[in-house]
Amino acid sequence: MNILIVDDHPSGRELTVEALRPLGYELIEAGSADTAVRLAREEQPALILLDIRMPSVDGFAAIHALREDPITTDICIVAFTACAMRGEKQAAMEAGFDGCLTKPIPMAALREEVRHYLSRKRAGGVRRGPESGDTQPKNGLKRACAAGTGHASSHTFVYQG
């Protein structure tokens, strides 16, 4: 199983790869939305972590292209963004994302979220849109991140560079 990590900041991609490497999945990186759409078609990853705010083509344009393409329409795609402005998570869900994670996030929490989305994908349980009720991270992780609580590795965060 592979995961496509899309972030225009190399340091953000590197930290995400570092966080997810222990899970044992093949990790594919893209530095732009255009590259992400191409790689998604070629590699058909099980999960895409897609930054929303990128220059040129943003994550919203990328999700539109991915959902319109029969080859990529069923891929689990999670918005992974440092900007959690009011309404942005709702907009992400309405645009077709399967979930939304906000950076910074503790590495252990990111790994837990990835496992959660991949298990839902395997079980055929990923639902899109606001009606899914899954606009918040699992198990109150948003609160844990904000409070700096959680697993032993919660002191190491994935940042946007």
Show the beta-strand stretches assigned E in the chain: 2-6, 26-30, 47-50, 76-81, 99-102, 105-106, 157-158
The CA distance from 36 to 66, in Å, is 9
Angle between helix axes 88-95 and 59-68 (nearest 10 degrees) is 20
Residue type, 38: R
When the candidates are 3.40.50.1000, 3.40.50.2300, 3.90.1150.10, 3.10.20.440, the CATH number that belongs to 2-158 is 3.40.50.2300
- pLDDT averaged over every residue in the chain: 80
- Predicted confidence (pLDDT) per residue in 113-143, tens digit: 999 999 986 555 554 444 444 444 433 333 2
Q: Is the pLDDT of residue 13 over 90?
A: yes
pLDDT at 158: 53
Quick one: tokens of 27?
A: 């990790």
Residues 6 or more apart whose Cβ sits within 8 Å of residue 15: 157, 158, 159
- Predicted confidence (pLDDT) per residue in 62-103, tens digit: 999 999 999 999 999 999 988 667 788 889 999 999 999 998
Break the chain into its structural domains and give their ranges. 2-158
pLDDT at 129: 45
